[in-house]
Structure 1
Amino acid sequence: MKIAIVGPGGIGSTFAFQLARAGHEVTVVARGKRLDHLQREKAIVNVSGQRAEVHVSAALDTTAEWDLVLVTVLASQVDAVLPALAASAARTVMFMFNTFESLGRLQGAVGSARFAFGFPAILATVDDGKLTSKIVSRGMVTTVTDAAWAKVFTDAGIPSVVHSDMESWLRTHAAFVVPAMVALITSHTRRAGVSWTEAMNLARALDEGVRLVRQLGNTITPEPMAWLSHLPQPMLATLLWTFSRLEAVRKMGAAGPGEPRTLIDAMAAAAPGQTPALLAIRP
C-alpha cells in the first residue's frame, strides 16, 4: 500500500519503520533537522542500526492517491497541515495524537467518508536521528477507529484494536495522561521524583479531569480506566509518586510541557471556570 506519514517523530518514525519493513511504500513528510537527516539517510534508522528505506518529502503531495495519510504531529500543530490534508486525494486520513477536543472539526475538514482516528500504544524517541521505540503488544495496545487499518498495523508488528467511541477514549486518556506527563516533566527537570504534596495535587487534577469527561457526556473507557477512575485520591497520588521515580520512563519528560499545556487548555476551554486543579498543575 502507498502510505504517507506526516510528522516522523518517535511515533511517526515507528509506524514508518514497521510499515516499510512490512513491504508498504512509505513516504515521510518532515521538516527542520529531521528532514535534513532523513534526506541524507533515505531511511528510518533505529538505535540497533537497522534500516527501513522510505521516501522523504518536505510537503505532502496532495495529488497522490495515498491509501493512507497518517498524521502523527502534536494536536497544537495539526492546523498547519489541515489545508493540505483537506486538499489531499488520499483515500483515508488518520489522525493519531493526544487531543481533548471534539473530533468533529477534523472529520469535517477531511470528510467523514475518509476520516479515521487512532492512538498509538508506543513509547518512542528520536535522538541524533536514531529511533528508539517500544511497541506495546499486550493490554492497552494501539487503538483505531478503522478495522481494515487495525489489521494492516497489526500485520506490520504494531498490534491494534478497534474502538467505536474514540472521542470518549481520547478524553479519558487525556484526563489520566496529563498528570502523568506533568509528573515526568517535573522529575526529568529536577532529576528526582515529585513530592507527596505535588503527587496529591496531580491526583486532584486527575479526578477533576475524569469528572469533566463525564460532564461532557462521554464515557470513561476502556474498562481499566473506568476502574482506575474510582480509586481514592491518595491511591492515585501513590501511583503518580511512584511513576515519577521510574528512570526508564522519566526521560519522556524531556519532550517538554507543550503537549500537557495544550491538553489542559482544551480541557479548560471545554468548561470555563471549572478546572482549577488542572490549571494549577499547568507546566
Structure 2
Amino acid sequence: MKIAIVGVGRIGSTFAFQLARAGHDVTVVARGARLAQLRRDEAIVTAAGERAAVGVSAALDEGAAWDLVLVTVLAHQVDEVLPALAASAAKTVMFMFNTFEPLGRLRDAVGAARFAFGFPAILAALDDGKLTSTIVTRGMVTPVTDAAWAKVFTDAGIPAVVEPDMESWLRAHAAVAAPVMVAAVTAHARQAGVSWTEAMNLARALEEGLRVVRQLGNTLTPAPIAALSRLPTPAAAALVWTLSRIEAIRKTGATGPSEPRALIDAIAAAAPGRTPALLAIRP
C-alpha cells in the first residue's frame, strides 16, 4: 500500500514505523525540526536503534494516488492541512486524533466516500527524535471506522477493530482523557504523581465530562468507559492517582497542556454552564 502520514509526532511515528516494517510504501509529512531530523535519518528510528526507512516530505503530494493519507496532527492543527487533504487524490483520508467536536465537518471536507476516522491505542514518546512506543494489543485496541484499514493496521502490529459509532467513542474518550492528560502534565512537570486532593478534583471532572456526553445524546462506549462511569468518585480518583505514577503515562505529559486544554474547551463549548469541574482543572 502507498501511505502518507501527515504529522509525525509520537503517534504518526509509531504508525509509520509499523507500516513501513510491514512492507508498505510510507511517506511522512513533517515540518520544523522533526522534518530536518527525518531528512537526515531517512527513517523512523527507535530508542532501541531499530530503523524503518520512509520517504520524507515537507508537504503532501496532492497528485499522488495514495491508498491512505493518515492524519495524526492535533485537532487544532487540522484546519491548516484540510485544503491539501481536500485536493488530494487519496483513496482514503483517515483522521486520527483526540476531538470532542462532531465529525461532519471533516467528512464534508474530504468527501464521505473516502472519509475515515480512528483513534490510536498507543502510548509513545519521542526523545531526541527516537521513538519509544507501547501498542495496546488486548482490550481497548485501536478503533477505526474502516474494516479494510483495521486489517492493514492489525497485520502491521497495531491491533484494530471497527467502531460503528466513532463520534460517541471519541466524546466518551475525550471526557476521560482530558482529566488523565491533566494528571500526566502535572506529574511530568513535578516528576511525581498528583496528590489525593488533585486526584479527587480530576475524578469529579471526569464524571462531569461523561455526564455531558450522555446529555448530548451520545453513548458511553466502549464498555470499559461505561463501567468507569459507574465507579464511585473515590475509586475513580484512585485510578487517576495510580495512572499519574506510571512512567509511561507521565512521559506523555511532556507534550504540555495544549491538548487537554483544547478538549476541555470543546466540552465546555458544547455544554455551556455545565462544566465547572472541568474548567476548574483546565491547565
Q: Deviation of residue 171 (structure 1)?
A: 0.5
In structure 2, the partner of 1:139 is: 139
Shift of residue 246, structure 1, vs aligned partner: 2.1
- 2:57 paired residue number: 57
CA contact (8 A) 2:47 2:132 kept: yes
The secondary structure found in structure 2 opposite 1:237 is: helix
Amino acid paired to 1:58: A
Question: Match of 1:113, SS?
Answer: helix
Q: Secondary structure of the equivalent of 2:139?
A: coil
1:51 Cα deviation from its structure 2 partner: 1.0
- Deviation readout 1:205-255 (Å, 9 max, x if unpaired): 011100110011100001111111011111111111122122342121111
Q: 1:157-183 CA distances to partner (integer Å, 9 max, x unpaired)?
A: 111100100000000101111111111
In structure 1, what is the equivalent of residue 192 of structure 2?
192
Q: State the SS of the aligned residue for 2:112.
A: coil
Question: Which position in structure 1 is the counterpart of 2:47?
Answer: 47
Normalising by structure 1, report the TM-score.
0.98
The residue number in structure 2 matching 1:260 is: 260
Which runs of at least 4 in structure 1 moved beyond 6 Å after TM superposition?
Answer: none
Partner of 2:242: 242
**Residues in 2 aligned to 1:197 and 1:129: alpha-carbon distance in whole angstroms:** 36
1:49 partner amino acid: G
Distance in 2 between residues matched to 1:160 and 1:229, nearest whole Å: 24
How far apart are the structure 2 equivalents of 1:163 and 1:205? 26
- The reply to whether residue 66 of structure 1 matches residue 66 of structure 2 is yes
| Superposed counterparts of 1:1-150, under 5 Å | 1-150=1-150
Structure 2 CA distance for aligned equivalents of residues 218 and 19 of structure 1: 33
Give the aligned partner of residue 163 of structure 2.
163
Cα deviations by residue, 1:127-154 (Å, 9 ceiling, x for unpaired) = 1121111111111111100000000011
**TM-score normalised to structure 2 length:** 0.98
Measured in 1, the distance between the counterparts of 2:90 and 2:55 equals 17
Q: Which residue of 2 aligns with 1:209?
A: 209
Q: Give the distance between the partners of 1:66 and 1:28, measured in 2 at CA.
A: 12
**CA distance in 2: counterparts of 1:30 and 1:182, whole angstroms:** 27
Query: What RMSD over aligned residues (CA atoms) do the two structures have, in Å?
Result: 0.8
Q: What residue is the counterpart of 1:272 in the other structure?
A: 272
CA distance in 2, matches of 1:246, 1:15: 23
Residue 120 of structure 1 aligns to a residue whose secondary structure is coil
Which ranges of structure 1 fall in alignment gaps of 5 or more residues? none
Name the aligned partner's letter for residue 10 of structure 1.
R
Amino acid corresponding to residue 258 of structure 2 in structure 1: G
CA distance in 2, matches of 1:183, 1:204: 13
3-state SS in 1 of match to 2:65: coil
Q: For residue 89 of structure 1, give the secondary structure of its aligned residue in structure 2.
A: coil
* Offset at residue 193 of structure 1 (A): 1.6
Rounded Cα–Cα distance in structure 1 between residues aligned with 2:266 and 2:120: 20
Return the offset for 1:200.
1.1
Specify every segment of 5 or more residues in structure 2 that has no aligned partner in the other structure, as ranges.
none
Distance 1:199 1:148 in 2: 40
Asked if structure 1 preserves the Cα contact closer than 8 Å seen for 2:123 and 2:248, the reply is: no
Amino acid at match of 2:242: T
Cα distance in 2 for partners of 1:253, 1:129 equals 16
